[in-house]
Amino acid sequence: MSDPVSAMSGATFAGLAKVEDSGLQGMITLRGDLASAVLQAAVKAATGAEVPVSGQVALSDQGGVAWMSPDELLLLVPYAEVDAKVSELSEALKGEHALAVNVSDARGVFRLSGEGAREVLGKVCPVDMSAEAFKPGQFRRTRMAQVAAAFWLDHDGVFHIVCFRSVAAYVFNLLSASAHPQSKVVVY
């Protein structure tokens, strides 16, 4: 019966940059002692990536790990495997004080690509989006106009944006408005 749908069901907009609903992305909030060898091993096993330092995302073929706070990580895994991964993590972390919880469906996830992507984000996030300041592998929790959001830049020059599912339509419309074809700032 289950046929899960992502928050914006594949919506796209093309302007200064291309805005696309990324579809369903498995995500796990993991809270715990990030210095713990047990936790680090469990994270590596679940995602294929190492625990990153502050402000970074570590990406692997199967997923990735983003640094959220001194005791919180966001694990990226395939959507279909998320329950299994949560169980594995919980099992591996038995005896540790840690919390692993599935948040895949709590989110809207977007890809933002193209030449104007940096400027589009620069209109709604108080972040230095210049190429010198924001590099591939960086991960930023911030404010996107009036809502909380986070994004990272992958090595293909694509920004991946995460927001709460309930405001996915707001974020999609916000990014689309900011990518209006005649609104190029011409600084990046």
Partner 1 sequence: MSTRLANTGRLIDRSKQIEFTFNGKRMKGYAGDTLASALLANDQMMVGRSFKYHRPRGVVASGPEEPNALVGLGTGDRFEPNQRATTTELFSGLSAQSQNHWPSLDFDVLAINNKLSRFLTAGFYYKMFIHPRPLWKHVYEPIIRQSAGLGKAPDKELKDADTYEHFYFFADVLVIGGGVAGLQAAKAAAESGAKVLLIEQHNYWGGRAPVDGGTIDGMEPGAWVEKTLEELRGMDNVTLRDRCMGAGVYDHGYALGYERLTDHAPGQGGPRHRLWRIRASQIVTATGAIERPLSFAGNDIPGVMLAASMRDYAVNWGVTPGQKVVVATNNDDAYRTAIALHGAGVEIVRVLDTRDSGGGALMEEVRQLGIRVECGRGIAKVKGTKRVTGVAICAQNGEGGAQEEVAADAVAMSGGWSPVVHLWSHCGGKLVWDQAHANFRPDPERPPLGADGNGFVVAAGAANGASDLGAALQDAQTAGEAAANAAGFTPKTVNAPAAEAPVETPMQPVWLMPAKADIKLRMKSWLDYQNDVKVSDVQLAAQEGFESVEHTKRYTTLGMATDQGKLSNINGLAILADSLGSEIPQVGTTTFRPPYHPISMGAIGGEARGEIFQPLRKTPMYEWHDSNGSDWEPVGQWRRPFAYVRSGETLHDAVNREVKNTRENLGLLDASTLGKLVVKGPDAGKFLDMMYTNMMSTLKIGKCRYGLMCSENGFLIDDGVVARIDEDTWLCHTTTGGAERIHGHMEEWLQTEWWDWKVYVANVTEQLAQVAVVGPNARKVLEKLNEKAGGGMDVSKEALPFMEWRDGEIGGFKARAYRISFSGELSYEIAVAASDGLAFWTALMEAGQEFGVMPYGTECLHILRAEKGFIMIGDETDGTVIPQDLGLHWALSKKKEDFLGKRAHSRSHMADPDRWQLVGLETVDGSVLPDGAYAVGNGVNANGQKNTIGRVTSTYYSSNLGRGIAMGLVKHGPKRMGEVIDFPGTDGKIYKAKIVDQVFYDKEGEKQNV
State the residues that interact with partner 1 by CB under 8 A.
1-7, 24, 29, 31-32, 71, 83, 97-99, 101-107, 119, 122-130, 133, 145-147, 164-167, 169-170, 173-174, 177-178, 180-183, 185, 187
Minimum distance from CB of 127 to partner 1 (Å)? 7
C-beta of 121 vs 158, nearer to partner 1: 121
**What CA–CA distances, in Å, run from 65 to 132, 137, 169?**
23, 11, 26
- In 3D, which of 88, 84, 64, 87 has the Cα closest to residue 74? 64
Minimum distance from CB of 143 to partner 1 (Å)? 10
The two most distant CA atoms of the chain are separated, in Å, by 57
C-beta of 155 vs 181, nearer to partner 1: 181
Minimum distance from CB of 4 to partner 1 (Å)? 3
C-beta of 47 vs 178, nearer to partner 1: 178
| Separation CA 100–CA 83 (nearest Å) | 10
Lookup: tokens for 164: 């709460």
Q: How many CA atoms within 13 Å lie on the side-chain side of 164?
A: 8
Minimum distance from CB of 62 to partner 1 (Å)? 20
C-beta of 58 vs 167, nearer to partner 1: 167
Minimum distance from CB of 90 to partner 1 (Å)? 10
C-beta of 59 vs 122, nearer to partner 1: 122
Minimum distance from CB of 56 to partner 1 (Å)? 20
Long-range contact pairs involving 85-94 (C-beta distance under 8 Å, separation at least 24): 85/26, 85/28, 85/46, 86/28, 88/42, 88/45, 88/46, 89/28, 89/30, 89/42, 89/43, 89/46, 92/38, 92/41, 92/42, 92/45, 93/32, 93/38, 93/39, 93/42
C-beta of 59 vs 118, nearer to partner 1: 118
